[in-house]
């Protein structure tokens, strides 16, 4: 059924005295009229390494803090020497139709020892107690994505109170600023706490320390410190608290660190605090703003005719979401969610740091869902889908460093578990280099985690072809490919297949009714491996190395089963055309080749593209897309199928069904991958550049018939700006960084046109 397009009038916020006093928010601001009643409604700020969640409660502010390296546990040897001996028998059982027996044996012999990860943990809470009397009016809580500042403001007893919080990357601290519009009206108490493994102390007159050691002294040690700097008023210290009275304003600077990788975090925290405290608030804010905007402002976007400052963008974000749930079109919200994904990547993934985990850097728990770890069977990769296309390429770096750190342990796992060369990682990992098959076999016995991750190196190269980068990435790609040369086995039909493995987390039914999980030859594995092989072959040609190895890879690639169409017209998920007990499963792994892979394309492989659509339709018809990241993936799939309406419909479903009032993605629970996948999906609707062409507005929906963007990137080193109206391009500008011939496709045109681009010279198309 066609979706009814209903535009619902929203409350006119400009008419109340409160809103008159507060300036209307622009297109970059998420805002609410209430404090966060729960952690995942608070506003996130982050500097890549540290994160903070701002609740905005009037009387008691809670600023929940994170430091990305604060993980339980430590490096350990989890490889299982029994695996290699049991491997041939598990394969035999699967080849002879005995998946249940294979599973039982795999569970006993093939998994890491132990197979469980330890957890990423919350660092601490900074608490501010205001002891206000009476009720606040004119309350607003906002997150300005362009300034990267969270702000809380309200009026109480004739005084306007304002809190601003940001996480500075250049100054390595979190800054909290408290102001009042009546001199001397600021009175509050401040302390830091943590529910376990830490104690607090006061140092001098103005510093709070939280000193901790995880696991009762066995794990990492850590320190979180806050300095309180006043203008006016006075400051007293009580055990574990600083009390401020009658001040004009206060700046609280928070620094933190852990002993991860032998780091001397105590002196680093001292240094960070001292340096930041030597600056004025205005200086800290200015350095932060400049640093953030250098990244954030590379891309601007307008979808539809809505401009900032119109009625709808002035409504609080939860009301806008509610309107979308009722069927309203809010193109400003479409754009805001897109930019929020970019904001979150800037806040959680800076060069030199760890990559964004399942929750970015934000986590308030000692045992968060899935340990807030790194899942490699879609989630970590999805976090980085927007990095290249939305012009944040350097934020991809933490992923490359992380992948590099998995090589030594992954090499050992390859040898111990499979007797193979190369390196391997399975479906979960942590900051300690866990590469063994973890968790239960149903999810964890899946050897293509590293192989998928390495494709990010190749993508980074494609977006900015740079031989030096390729030379750095190639050994990693090669080593991932080497593993599969040894690991793949011949099946009874003479094909080379991967296994024992899974089609991530899904199950199939054998003709005799038996349900299987482990399998030989899941389609996704072969698509990932084939993609890796293609890339390794191309990279070795470009670098002119490894001719013999290249030939071996090419020979193995020819023997991998290609994507096959099954009896429902779908892309087959397993090596045989099995049915599945859960046809609406959240993973749609057999479409890797459509996205993020590029083996299936609308014009290159039209039959497979039709089968890909049938696959998604079948999933959706059975309730698929029910987790945030699954829905986000579907947006990307439909964009690749050049179906703007379906992509947009699923984008609306992501907003309506899987989005919290602060615009965070809901699995449920909160999981950040859907935010990043949603942002990537919007970009994919507006520009694509796989398959040897730059395709302008490949999947434009009716709701975005007018619009413009600036600064998205295409493969080949090209930045693109497009303005369009009535679904027609008014002007497109390509800004190449490399000279060469490019094929450019515009909507409706039968053939892509060839254009010759000169590095540094913009090329306009009307």
Residue ranges binding ligand FUC (CB under 6 A): 358, 370, 375, 377, 379, 443, 505, 586-587, 627, 629, 667, 671
Total residues found in the chain within this entry: 766
3-state DSSP assignment of residue 245? strand
* Residue 198 beta carbon to ligand FUC: minimum distance, rounded to whole angstroms: 28
117 or 198: whose CB is closer to ligand FUC? 117
435 or 443: whose CB is closer to ligand FUC? 443
Burial class (CB in 10 A: 0-12, 13-18, 19+), 376: buried
Question: In this structure, what token pair is assigned to residue 405?
Answer: 């750190």
382 or 496: whose CB is closer to ligand FUC? 382
Q: At what angle do helices 397-418 and 83-95 cross, to 10 degrees?
A: 90
203 beta partners: 207
β 687-688/515-516 pair status: unpaired
DSSP secondary structure letters along 665-725: BBSSSB-THHHHHHHHHHHHHHEE--TT-EEESTT--GGGSSEEEEEEEETTTEEEEEEEE
* Residue 133 beta carbon to ligand FUC: minimum distance, rounded to whole angstroms: 45
3-state DSSP assignment of residue 384? coil
String of b and e for 627-648 (b: at least 16 CB within 10 Å)?
A: bbbbbbbbbbbbbbbbbbebbb
528 or 700: whose CB is closer to ligand FUC? 528
DSSP secondary structure letters along 274-285: HHHHTS-HHHHH
* Residue 442 beta carbon to ligand FUC: minimum distance, rounded to whole angstroms: 10
Whole-number Å distance between alpha carbons of 231 and 246 = 10
142 or 671: whose CB is closer to ligand FUC? 671
3-state DSSP assignment of residue 458? helix
745 beta partners: 695
Whole-number Å distance between alpha carbons of 714 and 395 = 17
String of b and e for 476-505 (b: at least 16 CB within 10 Å)?
A: bbbbbbbbbbebbbebeeebbbbbbbbbbb
Using the Cα atoms of residue 572, residue 576, residue 582 and residue 583 in order, give the sign of their dihedral: positive
* Residue 503 beta carbon to ligand FUC: minimum distance, rounded to whole angstroms: 12
Map tokens 């309730």 to a residue: 623
Binning the chain into helix, strand and coil, the percentages to the nearest 5 are 35, 25, 40
Sheet holding 753-757, edge to edge: 687-688, 694-696, 740-745, 753-757
377 or 679: whose CB is closer to ligand FUC? 377
381 or 413: whose CB is closer to ligand FUC? 381
């Amino acid at each position: 059924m066609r979706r009814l397009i209903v535009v619902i009038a929203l409350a006119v916020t400009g008419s109340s005295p409160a809103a008159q006093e507060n300036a209307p928010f622009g297109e970059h601001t998420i805002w609410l009229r209430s404090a966060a009643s729960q952690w995942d409604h608070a506003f996130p700020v982050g500097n890549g390494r540290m994160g903070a969640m701002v609740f905005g409660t009037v009387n008691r502010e809670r600023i929940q803090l994170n430091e990305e390296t604060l993980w339980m546990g430590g490096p350990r040897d989890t490889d299982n020497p029994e695996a290699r001996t049991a491997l041939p028998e598990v394969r035999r059982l699967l080849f002879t139709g005995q998946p249940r027996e294979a599973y039982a044996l795999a569970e006993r012999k093939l998994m890491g020892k132990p197979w469980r990860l330890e957890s990423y943990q919350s660092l601490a809470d900074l608490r501010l107690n205001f002891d206000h009397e009476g009720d606040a009016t004119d309350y607003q809580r906002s997150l300005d994505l362009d300034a990267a500042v969270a702000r809380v403001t309200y009026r109480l007893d004739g005084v306007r109170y304002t809190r601003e919080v940001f996480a500075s990357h250049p100054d390595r601290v979190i800054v909290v600023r408290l102001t009042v519009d009546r001199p001397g009206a600021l009175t509050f108490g401040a302390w830091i706490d943590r529910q376990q493994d830490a104690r607090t102390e006061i140092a001098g007159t103005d510093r709070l320390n939280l000193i901790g050691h995880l696991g009762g002294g066995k794990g990492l040690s850590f320190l979180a410190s806050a300095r309180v700097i006043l203008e006016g008023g006075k400051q007293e210290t009580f055990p574990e608290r600083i009390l401020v009275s009658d001040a004009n304003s206060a700046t609280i600077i928070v620094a933190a660190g852990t002993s991860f990788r032998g780091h001397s975090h105590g002196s680093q925290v001292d240094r960070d605090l001292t340096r930041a405290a030597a600056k004025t608030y205005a200086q800290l804010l200015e350095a932060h703003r400049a640093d953030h905007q250098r990244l954030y402002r590379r891309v601007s976007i307008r979808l539809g005719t809505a401009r900032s400052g119109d009625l709808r963008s002035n409504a609080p974000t939860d009301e806008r979401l509610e309107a979308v749930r009722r069927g309203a079109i809010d193109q400003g919200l479409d754009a805001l969610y897109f930019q929020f994904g970019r904001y979150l990547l800037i806040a959680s993934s800076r060069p030199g740091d760890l990559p964004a985990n399942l929750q970015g850097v934000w986590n308030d728990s000692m045992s968060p869902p899935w340990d807030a770890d790194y899942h490699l069977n879609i989630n970590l990769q999805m976090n980085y889908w927007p990095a290249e296309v939305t012009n944040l390429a350097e934020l991809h770096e933490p992923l490359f460093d992380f992948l590099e750190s998995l090589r030594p342990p992954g090499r050992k796992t390859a040898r111990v578990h499979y007797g193979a060369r190369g390196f391997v990682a399975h479906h979960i990992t942590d900051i300690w280099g866990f590469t063994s098959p973890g968790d239960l076999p149903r999810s964890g016995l899946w050897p293509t985690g590293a192989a998928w991750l390495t494709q990010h190196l190749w993508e980074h190269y494609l977006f900015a072809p740079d031989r030096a980068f390729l030379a750095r990435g190639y050994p990693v790609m090669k080593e991932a490919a080497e593993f599969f040369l040894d690991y793949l086995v011949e099946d009874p039909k003479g094909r080379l297949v991967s296994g024992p493995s899974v089609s991530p987390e899904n199950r199939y039914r054998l003709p005799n009714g038996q349900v299987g999980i482990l399998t030989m030859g899941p389609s996704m594995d072969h698509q990932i491996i084939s993609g890796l092989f293609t890339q390794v072959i191309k990279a070795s040609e470009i670098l002119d190395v490894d001719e013999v190895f290249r030939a071996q890879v090419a020979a193995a690639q020819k023997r991998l089963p290609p994507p096959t169409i099954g009896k429902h017209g779908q892309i087959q998920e397993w090596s045989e055309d099995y049915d599945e007990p859960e046809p609406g499963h959240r993973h749609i792994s057999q479409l890797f080749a459509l996205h993020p892979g590029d083996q299936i394309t609308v014009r290159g492989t039209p039959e497979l593209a039709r089968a890909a659509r049938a696959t998604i339709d079948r999933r959706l018809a059975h309730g698929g897309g029910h987790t945030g990241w699954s829905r986000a993936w579907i947006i990307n799939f439909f964009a690749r199928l050049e179906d703007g309406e379906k992509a947009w419909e699923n984008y609306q479903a992501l907003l309506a069904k899987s989005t919290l009032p602060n615009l965070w993605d809901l699995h449920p629970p909160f999981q950040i991958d859907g935010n990043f996948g949603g942002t990537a999906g919007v970009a994919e609707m507006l520009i694509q550049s796989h398959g040897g062409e730059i395709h302008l507005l490949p999947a434009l929906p009716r709701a975005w018939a007018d619009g413009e963007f600036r600064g998205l990137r295409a493969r080949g080193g090209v930045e693109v700006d497009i303005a369009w109206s009535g679904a027609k391009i008014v002007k497109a500008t390509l800004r190449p960084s490399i000279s060469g011939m490019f094929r450019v496709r515009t909507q409706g045109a039968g053939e892509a046109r060839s254009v010759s681009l000169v590095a540094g010279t913009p090329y306009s198309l009307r």
